[in-house]
Amino acid sequence: MLVVPYVEVVATEERDAQGTVKKGFREQSGAWTFFPETLETSGHLQPDLRRRGLHKVRVYELKGVTRARFEAMVPADTSATQSRRIGEPWLDYGVADVRGLVGSPRLVANGIVRLIEQGTRDGQGIHARLAVPAAGQPIRLDTQLDFVLAGTESLALVPLARSNRFSIESSWPHPQFTGSFLPRSRSVSEKGFTANWEVSSLATNAQRQYRDGRTLPATPMVGQDANQNTPGLDAVGLSLVDPVNVYTQADRASKYGLLFVLLTFIGFFMFELIKQLPIHPIQYGLVGLALAIFFLLLVSLSEHIEFGVAYVISSVACIGLLGVYLSAVLRSARRGIAFAAMLSVLYAALYGLLISEDNALVLGAGLLFVILAAIMLITRNVDWYQLNRQAA
């Protein structure tokens, strides 16, 4: 924004104790705020990964350039007797958290490098002072700000100009576009993304919202209701998300865990009826616990080592334990090895579901269909009534 301060003399009327009206004059300060005609921000967003304890935090550095063009007209004096004193105007660049500024930004206005100072008229950021204009004088400025901004996970830009263009590119392959406006064009691949926004002042109330004192929406504090936050400025935004993180993968695995336990119990039941092998309920329970402990091992190990390595260690430990135990329960090493092989296939299929970002649902549904079809085909000729009579 371009801010032009002024002090003007205004007429006043005051009543004294006797009720007599006394006229006078006093000085009153104010400021005019002008928004850019055009605003263009472009830059390369370099992502990085930081660790805090057992957790990973996504951070970035944005090496950007902001170009803004101003065409403002300083109001003329209303009368010769009530003139205004115009002070030094300045350019405001609002930054939600100035601690993210890396190094010293460089500002050029009309070809002249300007000294940048801390703070803005209405909040955090930086500003640069300009020459004092005369009343009724037009102000034309072409500005360019080169900056490096560090942040965590998300970035937002406010379209305050009449015509706004934003362009961000990055090597992060999983962006989430947020805010009031989606990109007009974007390209996302495994090598990164490029996004371009075009926002007109006709499509946003950002200027009026800024004059009303709004800021960027704040993140709710712990225990605070998000609905208590006042509405923020219209903005375009993006977040660096990890769609298949450790806890998402562990959550998916636990959702399929009940199915794995159920399928194992079905296999036990079929052996018990077809091979006439009595299996005690305690043995059912121990096998179920061995399958359930896999997910606890997976979550705990994945907080310290890579998820794939944690998955292999957890699955090998549990499948190996079950293979040895079931060899005794089913009274045959071959049967125990067969059960262990079946579980190995299931866990391999489950890993494919966990690492899939876009096709997890369709792969999971297909896996369930194949398993159900296999059970139905294997048992299609079984006389269940005869098996029940034999068991009795």
Predicted pLDDT at 228: 44
Percent of the chain residues topping a pLDDT of 70: 85
Residues 201 and 227 in one domain: yes
Domain boundary among 240, 262, 282: 240
| Position 392 pLDDT exceeds 60 | no
| Phi, then psi, of 190 in degrees rounded to 5 | -65, -20
Comparing C-alpha atoms, which of 238, 245, 244 is closest to residue 175?
238
Residues 262 and 376 in one domain: yes
Asked if 52 and 127 sit in the same domain, the reply is yes
Last residue of a domain, one of 185, 219, 240: 240
More confident residue, 361 or 155: 155
pLDDT score recorded for residue 54:
57
| Class of residue 329 by CB neighbours under 10 A (exposed 0-12, middle 13-18, buried 19+) | buried
| Domain residue limits at 117 | 2-240
- pLDDT tops 50 at residue 284: yes
* Same-domain status, 191 and 333: no
State the pTM of this model.
0.68
Does residue 339 contact residue 323 with C-beta atoms inside 8 Å?
yes
CA distance 139 to 35: 12
Residues 167, 280 share a domain: no
Number of domains in the chain: 2
* Highest-pLDDT range among 48-62, 181-195, 251-265, 305-319: 181-195
When comparing pLDDT for 124 and 266, which is higher? 124
Mean confidence (pLDDT) of the chain: 82
Residue 227 has what pLDDT? 42
- Residues composing the chain: 392
**187, 217, 240 — which closes off a domain?**
240
* Predicted confidence (pLDDT) at residue 66 exceeds the cutoff of 50: yes
**Which of the four pLDDT bands, split at 50, 70 and 90, describes residue 379?**
confident
Q: What is the pLDDT of residue 79?
A: 67
CA 143/CA 222 separation, integer angstroms:
40
Instruction: Determine which of 26-35, 104-113, 224-233 has the lowest per-residue pLDDT on average.
Output: 224-233
The average pLDDT across 188-207 equals: 93
Higher pLDDT, 47 or 272: 47
Tell me which of 35 and 309 has the higher pLDDT. 35
In terms of domains, do 231 and 257 share one? Answer: no
Most confident of 73-77, 85-89, 243-247: 85-89
Query: b or e along 136-168 (b: 16 or more beta carbons within 10 Å of the residue's beta carbon)?
Result: eeebebebebebbbebeebbbbbbbbbbbbbbb
Name, in order, each residue with C-beta under 8 angstroms of 388's C-beta and a sequence gap of 6 or more.
Answer: none
Nearest of 291, 327, 311 to residue 250 by alpha carbon: 311
| 280 and 227 inside one domain | no
Compute the average pLDDT of residues 74-97.
83
Rounded Cα distance between 354 and 342, Å, is 19
Q: In degrees rounded to 5, what are phi and psi of residue 290?
A: -65, -35
18 and 147 belong to one structural domain = yes
User: If DSSP states are collapsed to H, E and C, what string results for the chain?
Assistant: CEEEEEEEEEEEEEECCCCCEEEEEEEEEEEEEECCCEEEEEEEEEEEEEEECCEEEEEEEEEEEEEEEEEEECCCCCCCCCCEEECCCEEEEECCCHHHECCCCEEEECCEEECCEECCCCCCEEEEECCCCCCCCEEEEEEEEEEEEEEECEEEECCCCCEEEEEEEECCCCEEEEECCCCCEEEEECCEEEEEEEEEHHHCCHHHHHHCCCCCCCCCCCCCCHHHCCCCCCCEEEEECCCCCHHHHHHHHHHHHHHHHHHHHHHHHHHHHHCCCCCCHHHHHHHHHHHHHHHHHHHHHHCCCCHHHHHHHHHHHHHHHHHHHHHHHCCCHHHHHHHHHHHHHHHHHHHHHHHCCCCHHHHHHHHHHHHHHHHHHHCCCCCHHHHHHHHC
Tell me, yes or no, whether 294 and 214 share the same domain.
Answer: no
Instruction: Please indicate, yes or no, whether residues 298 and 235 belong to a single structural domain of this protein.
Output: no
Task: Indicate if 318 and 341 belong to the same structural domain.
Answer: yes
With beta carbons less than 8 A apart as the criterion, state whether 240 and 58 touch: yes
Residues 203 and 251 in one domain: no
